[in-house]
Structure 1
Amino acid sequence: MNKFPFLDNWRKRHGDEEGTSPASAGGGEPEGVAELLSECELLRARAGQQGLELDDSPASLEALDQLPPRWRDDPEELPWLGNDAGLYLGTVIVCTVPGAVWNIWPGGHPVVTLVSGREIEVVEAGLDWAATGAPELSQVYAEAAES
Structure 2
Amino acid sequence: MNMSFLDKWRKRLHVEHPVPLADSVRADPGSVVELLSECELLRAQADSAGVELDDSAGSLEALDQLQPVWRDDPEVVPWLGNDAGLYLGTVLVRTVHGAVWEVRSDGQPVVRLASGREIDVVATGHAWADVGAPELSQVYAEVAES
TM-score, normalised by the number of residues in structure 2: 0.84
- Counterpart AA for 2:42: L
Match of 1:90 in 2: 89
1:112 aligns with 2:122: no
Unaligned runs of 5+ in 2: 1-12
Match of 2:127 in 1: 128
- Counterpart AA for 1:116: S
Q: Structure 1: which 4+ aligned runs deviate by more than 3 Å?
A: 16-27
Report the Cα offset of residue 107 of structure 1. Answer: 2.3
Number of residue pairs matched by the alignment? 132
Q: Determine helix, strand or coil for the equivalent of 2:54.
A: coil
Match of 2:74 in 1: 75
Distance between the aligned counterparts of 1:23 and 1:17, measured in 2? Answer: 20
Inter-CA distance 98–26: structure 2 relative to 1 (3 Å threshold): closer
Report the Cα offset of residue 82 of structure 1. Answer: 0.2
What percent identity do the matched residue pairs reach?
65
Larger displacement relative to structure 2 (99-108 or 57-66): 99-108
Match of 2:4 in 1: none
Inter-CA distance 58–17: structure 2 relative to 1 (3 Å threshold): farther
Distance between the aligned counterparts of 1:132 and 1:38, measured in 2? Answer: 23
Distance between the aligned counterparts of 1:33 and 1:44, measured in 2? Answer: 18
Distance between the aligned counterparts of 1:146 and 1:132, measured in 2? Answer: 25
Inter-CA distance 113–46: structure 2 relative to 1 (3 Å threshold): same
Match of 1:36 in 2: 35
Unaligned runs of 5+ in 1: 1-15
Over the residues paired in the alignment, what is the CA RMSD in angstroms?
Answer: 1.7
**In the alignment, is the contact (CA less than 8 A) between 1:83 and 1:123 conserved in 2?**
yes
Match of 1:140 in 2: 139
